[in-house]
Structure 1
Amino acid sequence: MAARDRLLPGRGHLLATGASVFSSALTAANAFAIAALAGSDSFGLFTVVITVAGILGVPLLANVHFVLYQELPRADADERPTIVGSALATGALFIAAGTAVFAACAPLLSILSGLSHEDSLLSVLVAACLSTMILTEAVLRGSRRLVTLLTIKTVIAAVTLAITLWMLLDGVRDPQPFLLVVSATALAFAVAAVIASPIRHPRWSTETARRILRLGALLTLSSALTTIVFGADSLMLNLWATPHEVGVYALYNGFPKRLLGVVVTEGAGLVLLPLLAVSNTRTLLRRMLKLTPLIAAATAAVSFAASATVFWFLRAEYPYDIALFVLAAIGIAIHTVFNLFFFILSMDGVRGSRAFAYIMLAGTPLVLATQAIAISGWQLEGALVAFILTNLLLVVLVILVARHRYRDPKATS
């Protein structure tokens, strides 16, 4: 298997992307099954807990996993054991300490999120388990062990889906058992990834750990703001609307977002991220600007068609509304463009991380104010409009900052 784990050109990229799309589709099907069979109220609570876990996961990980994406493809073979050992030890320390702190702060978390005390504690557990999974996955991604990674991802995703379907058919409707399954299978993935790691004798280095944390700090600031920006809409809706509306929004906005995650983040991203780490950022940004209209149009068309098809089978529980499909498709189209810009900048080391931090620092207050106004006034429809405006504002900021910080030297000489 190790011989086939190299990042192959051409056909190898397509095969890796296709396999990653399939495994990620199984993961998306898990959430879809809960939405379809457990009902909108249960799916709404499931989504809020996952959203809170995602926000908590940012300080737990301290973006050590993204540093592995950047550093491992560039490192020599004899440097990798030190990078992996230092990263895993640092990440484990942050996850353990952060989990203890967040568990102690569960009452405050309940006030901020609208969750019960028990569900707040559950969100902390989910955050810890998912963070552990992401950290160990980064070792395989950064080492370009694609076959190994995809095999583990597919098996774990299939097991998670099978258990979820078994519980749903057995009459389980409360979201808590499904969240426990997600947590348990995330830990199973982490164990399998550690066993399959190509680094057999990881080493600790204080200097390497400091370097990882320095770069991770910039990324953590950006990731924290990004996670808050794209999680606040569900939390605001949870405070100002009914659980049913939260569930409906979670599917209208979440289904195309998961589709995006399957195709771009987990599909092309599996091969894309290591390549970005060794590519010319200025050239990538210039090409991205040219392709933006085409990418947005294609994503909107796919999102609309997929949502219109899927919601036809769920119309008894979720409203079948063409206008909502259009709003969701526009939002996800701009969100796709934003994500691709994020990938390019985040893989450019300190310079790209600093540029993205400026973007999020400038955009977050405006975005949160826009979301609060739209969602408090128009609930479901307001949340979909707020998602469009959020991504549009951030894309404009990305383009302005990228043009300033990545100017062609020949153009200014």
Structure 2
Amino acid sequence: MALTEFSARTNGGPNPFDMHLDENSFLERVRAFVADEVLPKTREWESNRAFPDSIWPRLGELGILAMTLPREKGGLGLTCTTYCDTIREIAKGDPALAMNVAAINALCVAHFDRFATQEQCDKYLPGIIKGEIKLAWGLTEPDAGSDARRVKTKATPIEERPGYYKINGRKMFITNAGKADLIVLIARTSDTELTAFLVETDQLGFTNVERIHTVGVSASWTTSFDLKDAVGWHTPCKFEDAIGLLYRGRLAIAGMALGIAEKAHELTVEYSKQREQFNRRLCDMQSVQNMIADSEMEITAARLLLHHGTTLFDEGKPVIKESSMAKLYASETSNRVTNRAIQIHGGRGMTPEYLVEKLWRDAKLTEIGEGCSEIQRMVIAKQVTR
């Protein structure tokens, strides 16, 4: 279906979600959805290397695609704390889905909220909220990753169409790009200026080049794509403002990492109570107890760092340092906890019979996506020493 067919379906009408649903009730509904519809399917989705197309309207029905959108624009208007807790809960069922939901909310939908014109919102938001328009956020390029200002994709104004540009370049490692109908894309308008555009993927100038398969979060349809005179609709914003959306995004990735760690820890504690060696349960062995204790302590610390960051965000305070600390610590905790989970499960932990091996692979992404650990340390140090 062409994106123009989504225009003004619900814009200006009543909020389609339950206005009386409080945030605790919303989280309970998310937990039920994860338990019934996500966790039982996570291996199937990984095997298929894709989510079913039906997942997007289902997420829309639950309001999960509009968590960060204010109520007056048709969203749920949730606090950052509840948004990140939602990502955390989804990650316990399927980290790849959590990653996609995090990116759609914190980067794409938030971009519409902050920077899109009313005309752009009227055209796209109704379909986005319902899950009929699938989204991606396009920054990374072959030569531009951590160094975002190295973006080479170029945007040139179309003289006869004010606000529209011809866009040329290549993007890669773009989450959900292979399924997206619309991409919020960063491109260069001059040697010094970068800004953002809305690019529809069903045009001749847009070509998905290849699917990028990864060892973890495999169900996410990550691709590289080419833009050859593709038409982009400018969203009025400065590069620094668009990149500023990453701060809430990093808190969400911290939530994803925390959810992975919590699930792996839960499975490992249960396994250690059931598995016996040398006529003793694993959980009665000091070496195993040490690992369980370390994981419990680090998960608790990561949870507190995340809550501190989301609380500051909800209070309208800067979270540049706090979001990096939460993301850095939670992601590294997730990798340590899942590694311990494998160790405690022994050889069984290396087999697909046990979910900990998948969580172990999925956890690695959290140390890389939305700013690798080295970048987070640099951000933290600059904030401390400025």
TM category, shorter: 0.3 to 0.5
More strand by share: 2
Greater RCO (Cα-Cα under 8 Å, separation 6 or more) = 1
TM-score, L = length of structure 2: 0.34
